[in-house]
Structure 1
Amino acid sequence: MTLQSLTRAWEPMSYGFLDASAKREIRRKMLKAIAVPGCQVPYASREVPMARGWGTGGLQISCTLINPRTRIKVIDQGADDSVNAASIRKFLARVSGAPTTNDALEADLIQSRHRVPEEVLREDQVLVLQVPNPEPLRPVQPNMSIARQMHADADYGRMWLQLYEQIVRSGRVMQGASYPSLVNGRFVMTPSPIPRWDVPKLHMARHLTILSAGREKRLHVVPPFTRVEPLVFDDVPYRVEDHGGLTCQRSGARGYFMNEIPQDDGSSIHEVSDSDLGVKTIRRREGEAVAIGATWYENGEMTS
């Protein structure tokens, strides 16, 4: 027996870019985060060929989970064709040999920046959300050592006070994206900068959601069939964006989250934020047999 027989041939890069040690560590941390839903778990965030703050946390999770049979979908603010989404999708395909898709129904692994697809995800799908700031207490407690102690004590009084002050000053809760939510009745998390529209999609969902912040070196998880409840007062109900009456100017889709596009004359038109859903709607309108899955919302109202 020789040393050479016990080692693999030299390769310029590990499969999936990350080395085996990094993947083992991230897998262990993901399992811990699954066991304690909503709890922030630190990990040794590695360097990847992308600037921190542009999706390095989500990219490391995807590189850890990916294999040659994993079908990948990457979206950025709902769009499949943005520069960020296209770059990450191309990188993941190049380092893994995995196929890619724009269809949420065909994907096994969906990496997203700031949106959850409109079509309901299945049990066998994994959603990876890029998170710039995983700490919901940072606006009320900038000292992270004290913030972690507050999480340990389930001391979220300052967050409730912040929401109360918004109601007193503005008549409603002004928190838009990253709405603080209680996971499994224990930890408050920030669900990435997804809009309020998307937060109810995480509640008792069938899919696994992994939220990772590469710059902050922390991840947290929402396992399947886990309660995710936005922080609200009993007499001030949670409200999503009022997009139920808006119609997509290109596809005609109605009742979904829309992007507002200002026009030269001062008016605005709207396009459905989930670009794949818009493309499917157009293709179906033109007579193609296109499968559109069940959606979380219908006419602006949650279906379940």
Structure 2
Amino acid sequence: MTLASLTRPWAPMSYGFLDASARREIRRKTLKAIAVPGCQMPYASREVPIARGWGTGGLQVTLTLIRPESRVKVIDQGADDSVNAASLRRFLARVSGATGTPDTTRATIIQSRHRIPEERLREDQILVLQVPNPEPLRPVEPNMSVARQMHADADYSRLWLILYEQIVRSGRVMQGASYPALVNGRHVMTPSPIPRWDLPKLHMARHLTILSAGREKRIHAVPPFTRVEPLVFSDVPYRVEDHAGLTCDRSGLRGYFMNEIPQEDGSSTHELSDSHLGIKAIHRAEGSGAGPAETWYQDGEFRQ
């Protein structure tokens, strides 16, 4: 036996950027998070070449899951071509050899900030959501030790009180993004800053969803076919954003989540938040593509 046989050739970095110890820990904590849906699992968040608060948690999970044969889609508020999304996708391809794709149906790993794609995800796809604040009890209990005890006791009465106060003051629930949801009938989670429009997409979904907060060092997950129920009163039903009557100015699609684009004359137009869905619709209209796949919503109505 020689010393050379016990060592490896020097390399500037490990495969997938993270070292083996970091990947092993994140995999273990992810498995624990899947075993207890909605429960936050602490982990030692590593340094990655982006600032904390810009998706370090999601990036670490993706780096742990990625393989050379993976096809990765990165979304920033619905867009694939933003600076953040393009930079992360290029970094992931460079350190792993994986292929980047803007097509939801072709991707095996989808890392997203603020949105879930409009096209339905399959069993063989993994959704990784970047989460700035994973603790739903923080607005009502700033002491995290007390908040952990409240989770252990399933004591979410203060969250119900906040929703009740919103109804009394405004006549409806005003909570927009990060709407609290009960996972598997046990733990309440905040599903990242996705809009209310996207929350029904997690209920009994076929795909695995992993939510990771790098700055807060927490991972939680929603396994396939798991109940995700927004906190609502029996006489005040859950309502998503009313975008059913809006039409995308570029693609002509309607009934999906839209971004409002202010115009110089004071008016506004609307554009699909899911940018690649609009591109597919344009290609179909031009006869150069098959068009979008099956979507969660049809004419503004969610389809199970």
The bucket for the TM-score relative to the shorter chain is over 0.9
Secondary structure in 2 matching 1:201: helix
Tell me the distance in 1 between the aligned counterparts of 2:85 and 2:166.
34
Please give the residue correspondences for 1:198-237 in structure 2 after superposition, counting only pairs within 5 Å: 198-237=198-237
Name the counterpart of 1:169.
169
Q: Does 1:47 align with 2:52?
A: no
TM-aligned CA deviation for residue 266 of structure 1: 1.1
Name the counterpart of 1:101.
101
CA contact 2:131–2:211 (8 Å) conserved in 1: yes
Offset from partner CA, 1:1-26 (integer Å, 9 cap, x none)? 12321221111100000000000000
Name the counterpart of 1:278.
278
TM-aligned CA deviation for residue 292 of structure 1: 1.9
Tell me the distance in 2 between the aligned counterparts of 1:296 and 1:43.
33
Question: Which deviates more from structure 2 when the two are superposed, residues 164-173 or residues 4-13?
Answer: 4-13
Structure 1 residue runs of 4+, over 6 Å off? none
| Amino acid in the other structure paired with 2:136 | P
Question: Which deviates more from structure 2 when the two are superposed, residues 261-270 or residues 123-132?
Answer: 261-270
Tell me the distance in 1 between the aligned counterparts of 2:12 and 2:156.
48
Please give the residue correspondences for 1:54-65 in structure 2 after superposition, counting only pairs within 5 Å: 54-65=54-65
Q: Does 1:184 align with 2:184?
A: yes
Tell me the distance in 2 between the aligned counterparts of 1:95 and 1:36.
31
Secondary structure in 2 matching 1:129: strand
| Amino acid in the other structure paired with 1:76 | D
Name the counterpart of 2:144.
144
Tell me the distance in 1 between the aligned counterparts of 2:227 and 2:269.
36
CA contact 2:103–2:276 (8 Å) conserved in 1: yes
Name the counterpart of 2:112.
112
Name the counterpart of 2:159.
159
TM-aligned CA deviation for residue 291 of structure 1: 4.3
Secondary structure in 1 matching 2:100: coil
TM-aligned CA deviation for residue 289 of structure 1: 2.9
Name the counterpart of 1:27.
27
Cα RMSD (Å)? 0.6
| Amino acid in the other structure paired with 1:210 | I
Secondary structure in 2 matching 1:261: strand
**Structure 1 stretches of 5 or more lacking a match?**
none
Secondary structure in 1 matching 2:99: coil
Q: Does 1:292 align with 2:292?
A: yes
TM-aligned CA deviation for residue 198 of structure 1: 0.1
Offset from partner CA, 1:104-162 (integer Å, 9 cap, x none)? 00000000000000000000000000000000000000110000000000000000000
| Amino acid in the other structure paired with 1:54 | W
Secondary structure in 1 matching 2:200: helix
Secondary structure in 1 matching 2:50: coil
| Amino acid in the other structure paired with 2:37 | P
Tell me the distance in 2 between the aligned counterparts of 1:154 and 1:76.
33
Tell me the distance in 2 between the aligned counterparts of 1:13 and 1:139.
40
| Amino acid in the other structure paired with 2:266 | G
Tell me the distance in 2 between the aligned counterparts of 1:132 and 1:292.
30
Name the counterpart of 1:11.
11
Name the counterpart of 1:248.
248
Offset from partner CA, 1:233-290 (integer Å, 9 cap, x none)? 0000000000011000000011000000111111110001000100000010111232
Secondary structure in 2 matching 1:85: helix
- TM-score (normalizing by structure 2): 0.99
| Amino acid in the other structure paired with 1:85 | A
Tell me the distance in 1 between the aligned counterparts of 2:153 and 2:3.
52
Tell me the distance in 2 between the aligned counterparts of 1:164 and 1:192.
22
Tell me the distance in 2 between the aligned counterparts of 1:39 and 1:177.
20
**Structure 2 stretches of 5 or more lacking a match?**
none
Tell me the distance in 1 between the aligned counterparts of 2:105 and 2:260.
26
Q: How many residues align?
A: 304
Tell me the distance in 2 between the aligned counterparts of 1:198 and 1:56.
22
Tell me the distance in 2 between the aligned counterparts of 1:289 and 1:118.
18
| Amino acid in the other structure paired with 2:29 | K
TM-aligned CA deviation for residue 293 of structure 1: 1.1
Tell me the distance in 2 between the aligned counterparts of 1:289 and 1:41.
43
